[in-house]
Structures are given as structure tokens and as C-alpha cells.
């Protein structure tokens, strides 16, 4: 009897210990759906070999499929507000990607003019305004290498050497605005949405150019010569999760191993970079493995049998 009690006690201890150490079940985004005020303005790119391939008439399953990768193995992407570079683009509308991760809802969205240019008194497209457009652009300006090339820019433009940096930044801001740079940075290509099931951290992959100079230099003409070769910048994604909204972007990419060779803007250079951004998420609730539950039930049945034996011996 003493030996049986020791075995049962040990079994209970092992079962409870295993229950405490079972990792939570989380992983990737599920139930992906497209919405927003421009719900039809999106594209889905699957992977074929080392290329991304445009999916014709994508279904909900196609959207879900291409989001299941990670930084090391992207499996395509979903481009939100895909017509942002076209003529007559309505900058007041957005396209969203909604789903569940770790039991909570998450919304990823393209950006609108209101997101970029809002100030305390309304919308302002002026350089120096206190809004997200200015905050982001100053970082973009530095990442593009323009800050380090200001002397060469002054020389090329025949400007006085005492011309302040703020003047050059204002010029660059206005030029970027005029080539619809903010619209071009508002259509994120979502390649994955994953969650660490221990810390709760949510990582989002944004497909873009590994060398953004390839994209912007032709749009800027001679000014494109002052861009740093190999400079990196992602598009911006608006993320709403757990009652909080963030604008996420990155100026550092890793090689995705993919290039885009089909669909609008196919240049065999886009989708070559993977930009990973993250937010602090809520750790999902741990779910015991079925085998552990069965083990605990087995221990419980031993106790029930012991009680039956005791009653029978009275």
C-alpha cells in the first residue's frame, strides 16, 4: 500500500509539473479577412520557386496561405491598398487585413492622408508640422543618406554653404510629397503575422525592396544620385491590437530570397527585402496537451479504484 501511494504521488507530481510547463498554443494569424473602405483594393502574391507570383482572383484561403511564413521562409504577401501608385488615387480610403492571433483580434491597415497629416488643428502637408508625416520623413531622410550628402547637394544646386539643413529637408519633403511618396509608402505588403507564445510578442513581416534606391532613383531624376546605394525603408502599416493603434515601419531589412516578377510593378527587385516590425502582445493562455490530460485522468482513476477497494474491505 505504501509503495502504491508513492507511485501515485509521483505520478501526480509529474502530471502537474508537465501541465505547468506545456507551452501555449499560438503561432500565426488565423481567420484572415480583407475589409476597410476600399475592401477590393488588394493583391495576393504566392511563391513559385524564388519568385512571388500574383494570384488571379484570390480567395480567403489564398490570403490565409501566404501569411503562414516567417522571416527565414516568407511564403508570399498580401498588398493592402494596391492602387496607391495609380492616377486618381483616393487617399481617404483604406484596406484592412483582420484576423485572430493568440485568441485576440488584430487589424492591419493601409494608411490614409488623415493618418499621415493630422495635426491638432486639422490636416497639414507642410514640412515642420507636428504630425506623423514629418516624424517618419525625417527618419527616412537620414536612412536614405541625404543627411550625409548635404554638402554635395548644396554644391550641385549652387546653394550657399551656409544654407541650413532644415531648408534641404524641406526641399526633400516637398519633392517626396509631389511624387506621391507618402501614398507609395502607405500600401504595406504583409508577408506574415506571428506570435511568440511565451512572451506574447507579435512579429509582422513587410515585403519590400532590399535596395530602395533602385525604386526611388528613377522617380527623382538627378536628385536620385544623392541617395545612398542600398538604403532600406519599409512601407508603413497601421496596426490595431488590444485597444491600441501603432504605425509600424523599419529601416533595416534582411534578404527574403524572393523577387517579384508578375503583377503591377514587377521589376524582379521588389519583395527582395523582409522588414520585420513588432508589438508587445498578450501572452496566450496555456492549453494542456491531450496526453497530459489523459495522464491526470489516469491518476484520478487510480484514486477512484483505491476508494472502491477500501469500501469492499470494510
Taking only the tens of pLDDT, the chain with its 314 residues reads 554 554 445 555 555 454 444 444 458 999 999 999 999 999 999 999 999 999 999 999 999 999 989 999 999 999 999 999 999 999 999 999 999 999 999 999 999 999 999 999 999 999 999 999 999 999 999 999 999 999 999 999 999 999 999 999 999 999 999 999 999 999 999 999 999 999 999 999 999 999 999 999 999 999 999 999 999 999 999 999 999 999 999 999 999 999 998 777 677 789 999 999 999 999 987 666 555 555 555 555 555 555 554 444 55
pTM: 0.84
Are 82 and 225 members of one domain? yes
Residue 266 is predicted with a pLDDT of 74
Are 71 and 170 members of one domain? yes
Residue 24 is predicted with a pLDDT of 46
What range does the domain containing 78 cover? 27-279
Are 152 and 165 members of one domain? yes
Q: Report the domain count for the chain.
A: 2
Do 101 and 195 meet the contact criterion of CB atoms below 8 Å apart? yes
Are 120 and 240 members of one domain? yes
Residue 262 is predicted with a pLDDT of 77
Are 292 and 143 members of one domain? no
Residue 3 is predicted with a pLDDT of 47
Question: DSSP code of 210?
Answer: S
Are 15 and 120 members of one domain? no
Residue 232 is predicted with a pLDDT of 98
Are 209 and 187 members of one domain? yes
Beta bridge partners, 107, equal 98, 240
List own/partner pairs for 284-290 with CB under 8 A and 24 or more apart.
284/24, 284/25, 284/26, 284/102, 284/103, 284/195, 284/197, 284/200, 285/24, 285/103, 286/22, 286/23, 286/24, 287/22, 287/24, 287/25, 288/19, 288/22, 289/18, 289/22
Are 201 and 295 members of one domain? no
Residue 122 is predicted with a pLDDT of 97
Residue 36 is predicted with a pLDDT of 98
Cα separation, 44 vs 62, whole angstroms: 7
Are 232 and 292 members of one domain? no
Residue 280 is predicted with a pLDDT of 96
Are 254 and 157 members of one domain? yes
Q: Which residues contact 147 (CB under 8 A, 6 or more apart)?
A: 141, 165
Are 56 and 168 members of one domain? yes
Residue 256 is predicted with a pLDDT of 96
- Burial of 190 (C-beta count, 10 Å sphere; 0-12/13-18/19+): buried
Are 261 and 170 members of one domain? yes
Amino acid at each position: 500500500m505504501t509503495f502504491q501511494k508513492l507511485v501515485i504521488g509521483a505520478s501526480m507530481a509529474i502530471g502537474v509539473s508537465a501541465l505547468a510547463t506545456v507551452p501555449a498554443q499560438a503561432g500565426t494569424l488565423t481567420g484572415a479577412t480583407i475589409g476597410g473602405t476600399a475592401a477590393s483594393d488588394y493583391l495576393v502574391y504566392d511563391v513559385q520557386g524564388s519568385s512571388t507570383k500574383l494570384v488571379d482572383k484570390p480567395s480567403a484561403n489564398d490570403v490565409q496561405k501566404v501569411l503562414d511564413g516567417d522571416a527565414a521562409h516568407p511564403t508570399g504577401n498580401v498588398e493592402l491598398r494596391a492602387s496607391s501608385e495609380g492616377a486618381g488615387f483616393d487617399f481617404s480610403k483604406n484596406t484592412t487585413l483582420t484576423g485572430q492571433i493568440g485568441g485576440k483580434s488584430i487589424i492591419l491597415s493601409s494608411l490614409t492622408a488623415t493618418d499621415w497629416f493630422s495635426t491638432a488643428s486639422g490636416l497639414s502637408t507642410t514640412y515642420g508640422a507636428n504630425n506623423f508625416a514629418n516624424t517618419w520623413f525625417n527618419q527616412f531622410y537620414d536612412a536614405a543618406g541625404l543627411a550625409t550628402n548635404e554638402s554635395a547637394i548644396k554644391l550641385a544646386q549652387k546653394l550657399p554653404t551656409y544654407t541650413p539643413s532644415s531648408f534641404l529637408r524641406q526641399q526633400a519633403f516637398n519633392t517626396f510629397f509631389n511624387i506621391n511618396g507618402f501614398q507609395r509608402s502607405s500600401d504595406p505588403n504583409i508577408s506574415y503575422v506571428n506570435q511568440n507564445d511565451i512572451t506574447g510578442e507579435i512579429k509582422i513581416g513587410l515585403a519590400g525592396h532590399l535596395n530602395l534606391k533602385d525604386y526611388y532613383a528613377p522617380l527623382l531624376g538627378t536628385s536620385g544620385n544623392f541617395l545612398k546605394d542600398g538604403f532600406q525603408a519599409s512601407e508603413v502599416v497601421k496596426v490595431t491590437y488590444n485597444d491600441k493603434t501603432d504605425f509600424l515601419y523599419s529601416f533595416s531589412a534582411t534578404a527574403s530570397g524572393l523577387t517579384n516578377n508578375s503583377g503591377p510593378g514587377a521589376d524582379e527587385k521588389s519583395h527582395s527585402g523582409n522588414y520585420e516590425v513588432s508589438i508587445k502582445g498578450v501572452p496566450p493562455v496555456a492549453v494542456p496537451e491531450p496526453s497530459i490530460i489523459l495522464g491526470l485522468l489516469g491518476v484520478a482513476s487510480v484514486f477512484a479504484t483505491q476508494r472502491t477497494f477500501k469500501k469492499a474491505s470494510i
